[in-house]
C-alpha cells in the first residue's frame, strides 16, 4: 500500500518532468513524502531509496499509459466530471495491461 501511495504522491512531479524535462513544484511533494517515511521510522537512506523507486516506477507507468494520461489531461482541462475521467481511462487502457 505504501508503494502505491508513494507513486500517487509523486505522479504530478514525475509527469511534469516527463513532459517538460524539469519540475518546479515537486520539492514540496517529495518533502511531505520524506516526512511521512521518517514518521514511519525509515532511515534517510531507506526514505531516499523509496522516493527513487516511486519516481522510476511512476515514470514507467506513465510512459506505458501515455495515451490515457494525455486523454485524461484533456478531459480534466475541459472540466469534465470525475465519472467521465474514469471512463476515459477505462476506455483507453487495455484491460489486459492493468
Cell 505522479, residue?
A: 11
Q: Secondary structure of 28-84 in the HEC alphabet?
A: HHHHHHHHHHHHCCCCHHHHHHHHHHHHHHHHHHHHHCHHHHHHHHHHHHCCCCHHH
**In this predicted structure, what is the pLDDT of residue 94?**
86
**CA–CA separation, 55 and 63 (whole Å):** 12
pTM: 0.84
- pLDDT tier for residue 55 given thresholds of 50, 70 and 90: very high
pLDDT one-digit tens code per residue, 73-82: 999 999 999 9
Nearest CA to 22 out of 31, 13, 32 is that of 13
The three cell numbers locating residue 39: 514518521
pLDDT one-digit tens code per residue, 3-42: 999 999 999 999 999 999 988 878 888 999 999 999 999 9
3-state secondary structure of 10: coil
Amino acid at each position: 500500500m505504501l508503494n502505491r501511495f508513494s507513486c500517487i504522491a509523486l505522479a504530478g512531479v514525475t509527469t511534469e518532468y516527463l513532459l517538460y524535462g524539469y519540475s518546479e513544484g515537486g520539492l514540496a511533494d517529495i518533502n511531505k513524502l520524506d516526512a511521512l517515511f521518517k514518521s514511519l521510522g525509515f532511515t534517510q537512506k531507506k526514505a531516499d531509496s523509496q522516493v527513487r523507486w516511486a519516481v522510476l516506477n511512476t515514470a514507467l507507468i506513465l510512459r506505458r499509459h501515455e495515451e490515457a494520461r494525455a486523454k485524461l489531461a484533456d478531459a480534466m482541462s475541459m472540466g469534465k466530471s470525475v465519472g467521465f475521467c474514469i471512463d476515459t481511462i477505462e476506455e483507453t487502457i487495455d484491460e489486459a495491461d492493468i
